[in-house]
Structure 1
Amino acid sequence: MVEVTKEGSNILFNVKGLHKLWAFKSQLQIPAAHIRSARQDAEAVKGWWKGWRMPGTSIPGLFNAGTFFKDDRRIFWDVYHQKKAVIIELEHEEYDQLIIEVENPEAVIALLSSPQTA
């Protein structure tokens, strides 16, 4: 699970608990201006193939965490409960996309979509 907070003009993505170990990452800091969109999409998180994992952890159909390469895109995954997954499109960043599980998807989407954030 990932906790999302705003700190000045940056958005902090804090990976929680053992997910840090599985994802090989504890935090991402991204300028709010580099976030293009945030949404939920049940179809996008389904399926067993998430891409080439480097580094990370994957138990197909159950859990994905870490860096994955798919369709010439670098994607950070941290999802156990797919219903709580948020897909975040980025530009000018190390990752092209974040697909993360959060406690309250609607609140995170609202935070990332607010005019002050963009």
Structure 2
Amino acid sequence: MTNPFAIPLDHITRVSTAPPQTSWRDLRAPGTALPGVIRAGTYYTPRGKEFWYATKTGGYLTLELKQSPYQRIILTISQNEAWSEQILEQVQRVFEAD
């Protein structure tokens, strides 16, 4: 059984499907990595605290956040472009309502 988590739409500042940048300076704690295969867990980077669950197969979805424990969440998912569009539409609605 997994624990679901929610990200308030007004905490999302940017959505991207571009391959994310990584650095040898990124510190994994806790997490796992198998170079060229998977990168999963919490990483402390020059950009801030990030959560990764990504493989090298592509289909990236990156959420940049504010007022959150994580600065970015990076995932690989199927239909990443469609998810990106749906999230952006919902985020725009939240900001238009304010």
TM superposition score category, shorter chain reference = 0.7 to 0.9
Q: Which of 3, 24, 37 is 1:62 aligned to?
A: 37
Q: Which of 49, 54, 69 is 1:79 aligned to?
A: 54
Secondary structure, aligned partner of 1:29: coil
Structure-to-structure mapping, 1:1-118, within 5 angstroms: 26-42=3-19, 44-45=20-21, 49=24, 51-114=26-89, 115-116=92-93, 118=95
- 8 Å CA contact 2:36–2:56 kept in 1: the answer is no
Counterparts of 1:48 and 1:67 in 2: how far apart (Å)? 14
- 8 Å CA contact 1:68–1:77 kept in 2: the answer is yes
Larger radius of gyration: 2
TM-score normalised to structure 1 length:
0.68
Q: RMSD in angstroms over aligned alpha carbons?
A: 2.3
State the 1:75 CA deviation: 0.4
TM-score normalised to structure 2 length:
0.80
Are residues 88 and 99 of structure 1, via their aligned partners in 2, closer, same or farther at CA, if it must alter by over 3 Å?
A: same
Greater strand content: 1
Structure 1: runs of 5+ lacking an equivalent: 1-16, 21-25
**Partner deviation per Cα, 1:47-74 (whole Å, 9 max, x = no partner):** 5737111111111221011100010500
- 8 Å CA contact 1:58–1:64 kept in 2: the answer is yes
**Partner deviation per Cα, 1:16-50 (whole Å, 9 max, x = no partner):** x9xx7xxxxx43311000001111122x25x5737
Counterparts of 1:51 and 1:108 in 2: how far apart (Å)? 27
Structure 2: runs of 5+ lacking an equivalent: none
Report percent identity of matched pairs: 24
Write the letter of the residue equivalent to 1:36.
T
Write the letter of the residue equivalent to 1:65.
A
Aligned length: 93
Are residues 104 and 52 of structure 1, via their aligned partners in 2, closer, same or farther at CA, if it must alter by over 3 Å?
A: same
